[in-house]
Amino acid sequence: MEDKMNSNAYLPAKAEITEIIQETASDIDIKTYRLKLLDRGGMDFMPGQFVELSLPGVGEAPFGFASSPYEREYVELSIKKVGRVTEALHNMKPGSIVWIRGPFGNTFPVKEMEGSKILVVAGGLGLAPLRPLILYMLDGRNREKYDDIQMLLAARSSADFIYRRDFEAWGKTGGVRVIKTIDKPEDGWDGKVGFPHVLLEEMDVDVRNTYAVTCGPPIMIKFVSAKLAEMGIPGNKIFTTLEMRMTCGVGKCGKCNIGHRYVCIDGPVFSIAELREMPGEY
């Protein structure tokens, strides 16, 4: 999937923010930005990949795609306000110009996963990099390639969910089950309560025929992947996506390596089997 930007991997393309959706209603501020590239609309990418987004004079930062790979008119990025670039971005309005380059990184093994049941376990902003995968699998072109899909979507509180507008549509798709959970009980909450790795025990998971995909805060990934392995899913069928500080995004600047693996080239998607071989410097 070579994007036809040009042969200079550091040169970004201009994009306009066409819409900004406020995702969370809590102190963790997450917004989804819909970006339309001025020269081509959307981008040619696969689930798991990321872009480097520039604000001239402020800086550049990596963000995973959060929209469907089939969307031709725009791409979406879900961004939490956490540092200099993201703060500047959060102060922008629709119509503003940003610059993006990509797609970079590896992808979820969508071909390998065909024919299997799928289990998605996401926590908070961790649902963002998984959304392209979900939209890909649920798309009419692909739905029948995958067996039943279960999604366990977790968040700190009901105000911390992202993509709530999608949950109903996902749940209504044939063979898809969506379970929502929050950390502590809340008035008016009709979903589950409890940490995902605990709730997994109650779920009916066909461990021999399931691919699991998980993403969320590091501690959640740790507990969830341990639980999934304990339940019997082999390490090479559990996938996650990691984040690291990046600069070039193309495997040159030496900033994002975990052991010999560069997160921008050998990742950001890694299997748990790979993670077990990787040293603990992330």
Partner 1 sequence: MDGVIIPKNKITETVGILMNKYRVVAPARENGALVFKELADPEEIVLNDEPAYKSPKEFLFPQAEEILAFDEKGNVAADGDIPETILLGVRPCDLEALKVLTAVFINGKFTDVYFEKRLNSTILIGLGCISEKPGCFCEERGICKDSSGACDIFLTANEEGYAAEIISDKGRKLLDELNAGGLNFYAPVKGANAGFLEKDACAYGDKAPHEILEITGDEKSVFDNTDWGRISERCIGCGTCAYICPTCHCFEFYDAANKGRTARYRRWDSCMYPKFTLHASGHNPRPSKKERYRQRIMHKYVYVKHNFGYVACTGCGRCVRSCPAGMDIKAVVKGIMEGTWKIK
Contacts with partner 1 by CB under 8 A lie at: 7-12, 14, 54, 56-61, 82-86, 97, 99, 243-245, 247-248, 250-255, 257-260, 262, 265, 277-279, 281-282
The C-alpha atoms of residue 127 and residue 214 are separated, in whole angstroms, by: 8
Based on CB atoms, which residue is closest to partner 1, 35 or 258? 258
Collect all residues with Cβ–Cβ distance below 8 Å to 196 and sequence separation of at least 6: 121, 123, 152, 154, 181, 216, 220, 223, 224
Based on CB atoms, which residue is closest to partner 1, 231 or 244? 244
Based on CB atoms, which residue is closest to partner 1, 100 or 134? 100
From the CB of 207, what's the least distance to partner 1, in Å?
27
Based on CB atoms, which residue is closest to partner 1, 61 or 224? 61
Sheet of strand 117-123, all strands in order from the earlier edge strand to the far edge: 192-193, 176-182, 149-155, 117-123, 210-215, 238-241, 269-271
Q: What is the DSSP letter of 234?
A: -
From the CB of 58, what's the least distance to partner 1, in Å?
7
Q: What is the CA radius of gyration of the chain?
A: 18
From the CB of 103, what's the least distance to partner 1, in Å?
12
Written as one letter, the residue type at 44 is: D
Based on CB atoms, which residue is closest to partner 1, 33 or 99? 99
Based on CB atoms, which residue is closest to partner 1, 113 or 272? 272
Phi, psi of 255 (to 5 degrees): -90, -30
Collect all residues with Cβ–Cβ distance below 8 Å to 132 and sequence separation of at least 6: 45, 46, 47, 48, 64, 65, 66, 67, 68, 69
Q: Taking the CA atoms of 5, 6, 11 and 13 in sequence, report the sign of the dihedral they define.
A: negative
From the CB of 63, what's the least distance to partner 1, in Å?
12
From the CB of 170, what's the least distance to partner 1, in Å?
29
The C-alpha atoms of residue 166 and residue 149 are separated, in whole angstroms, by: 15
From the CB of 13, what's the least distance to partner 1, in Å?
8
